[in-house]
Amino acid sequence: MKLRRMLSWLAAGAMLAAPALAPAQALEKFPFRLNWTLYGEHAPFFVAQEKGFYREEGLDVEIQEGSGSTTVTQLVANSTSPVAYVDAATMMRGVSNGMPVRAVGVTLQQSPMAFIYRADAARPTKVSEIKGSRIAITAGDASLAIFTAFMGKLGMKLEDVQMITVANPQAKEQAVLSKQADALLGYFMDQGPRMQLQTGVKMGWTGLYDMAGVTTLSSAIIVNRDWLKDPKNEDRLRRFLRASQRGWQYTYDNRSEAADIFIRKAPVFTKEIALLEIDGTMSIIRTDRTKGKPIAVSDPGDWADSQKLLSEFAKLKPADDVNVYFTNQYLSEPPYLPKK
């Protein structure tokens, strides 16, 4: 009994004498909304999450699915989702309409937009087949602005095709598979290969660039400009972007591992599909102007080209200075490691 009491006193004394352990620094919540439901283009953000890159920057990033770039841009503008991932052309239209939004990093710098169709009913594969084609599109689809410019450059109007508007990406794909639509507007590295692998139906696709030389800057990380005025939010954004750049670089260098990480987040994908989409994504992350520059850094010349196309053929009101659309000032240089 005395021995037990003595041991208790010794243990209590040791606890009092021992220095208190500092609590682990709490991670800051950081919601980030995507443009759409998950596909391979989003893999780098999940790589940054799973590899601990966001955590090393003190951030607990919650990656949320979106419902189209038009809708998501509006959510950024009203501060519901102050940081998000959307189509650059859609964001530019928002800026021209007075929305307080701006791109802070452009990850897809060439347009992947394409007509995707069944190979046994291939249409349209050339300009002469466009008129009268039935084209499936989702409400709020980012592809509409690019398609409008595409049609304008060819001397045609949207009325020259039959637009079939559906509720979601699955319905868009089903419209083509069931031959209710001739083609859908989508990304060459996404819907076509995935539909073929999942259904066994041989698919084909023709890029808008291949058909008419139409391309613009594509996917960008955008922010609410008013939200960014808070120095604390600016600091959070810098850390988020640095970790995201690191995730994109890691994905570029380790595509098989990135595919494994992505399919754990999106088990509907097979590794084969994920790799196809990641490879396609990585093929358009820079332009001739941004070769050799850090990931997500964009060039004013590419913004000017995008604005020219959209203002000429898609009724975009051009800005006097393209810098109103974007900034590179919050991005980091390689190797994108946390500040000490």
Per-residue pLDDT of 159-170, as tens digits, reads 999 999 998 888
pLDDT band at 37 (very low <50, low <70, confident <90, very high): confident
Over residues 131-145, the mean pLDDT reads 85
Q: What pLDDT, on the 0 to 100 scale, is given for residue 4?
A: 44
What's the fold here for domain 28-110+217-324?
D-Maltodextrin-Binding Protein; domain 2 (3.40.190)
Q: What pLDDT, on the 0 to 100 scale, is given for residue 136?
A: 96
- DSSP labels, 186-206: EETTTHHHHHHHHH---EEEE
Q: What pLDDT, on the 0 to 100 scale, is given for residue 230?
A: 98
Angle at 274 between CA 268 and CA 259, to 5 degrees: 105
Q: What pLDDT, on the 0 to 100 scale, is given for residue 166?
A: 93
Amino acid at 164: I
pTM of the complete model:
0.86
pLDDT band at 143 (very low <50, low <70, confident <90, very high): confident
Write down the architecture of domain 113-212 according to CATH.
3-Layer(aba) Sandwich (3.40)
Q: What pLDDT, on the 0 to 100 scale, is given for residue 144?
A: 82
Q: Is the pLDDT of residue 339 over 80?
A: yes
Q: What pLDDT, on the 0 to 100 scale, is given for residue 6?
A: 42
DSSP 8-state code for residue 216 = -
Token pair 């020259």 is found at 160
Over residues 305-319, the mean pLDDT reads 94
DSSP 8-state code for residue 326 = B
Which of 131, 116, 130, 325 lies closest to 205 in space, CA to CA? 116
What are the residue ranges of CATH 3.40.190.10 in the chain? 28-110+217-324, 113-212
Q: Is 281 helix (H, G, I), strand (E, B) or coil?
A: helix
**Residue 252: Cβ-neighbour burial (10 angstroms; 0-12, 13-18, 19+):** middle
187 or 73: whose pLDDT is higher?
73
pLDDT band at 291 (very low <50, low <70, confident <90, very high): very high
DSSP 8-state code for residue 339 = P
141 or 18: whose pLDDT is higher?
141
d(CA 180, CA 233): 47
Q: Is the pLDDT of residue 24 over 60?
A: no
HEC string for 209-261? HHHHCCCCCCEEEEEEHHHHCCHHHHHHHHHHHHHHHHHHHHHHHCHHHHHHH
At 226-279, the pLDDT tens digits run: 999 999 999 999 999 999 999 999 999 999 999 999 999 999 899 999 999 999
Cβ atoms within 10 A of the Cβ of 37, count? 15
pLDDT band at 22 (very low <50, low <70, confident <90, very high): very low
d(CA 305, CA 295): 20
pLDDT band at 10 (very low <50, low <70, confident <90, very high): very low
Q: Is the pLDDT of residue 191 over 50?
A: yes
Q: Is the pLDDT of residue 34 over 50?
A: yes
pLDDT band at 109 (very low <50, low <70, confident <90, very high): very high
Amino acid at 167: A
Quote the mean pLDDT of the chain: 91
Q: What pLDDT, on the 0 to 100 scale, is given for residue 5?
A: 45
For the chain, give the percent of residues with pLDDT over 70: 92
Q: Is the pLDDT of residue 23 over 50?
A: no
DSSP 8-state code for residue 110 = S
Q: Is the pLDDT of residue 3 over 90?
A: no
User: Which residues of the chain form beta strands (DSSP E)?
Assistant: 28-33, 59-64, 83-87, 101-106, 113-118, 134-138, 162-166, 183-187, 203-207, 219-224
For the chain, give the percent of residues with pLDDT over 90: 78
pLDDT band at 112 (very low <50, low <70, confident <90, very high): very high
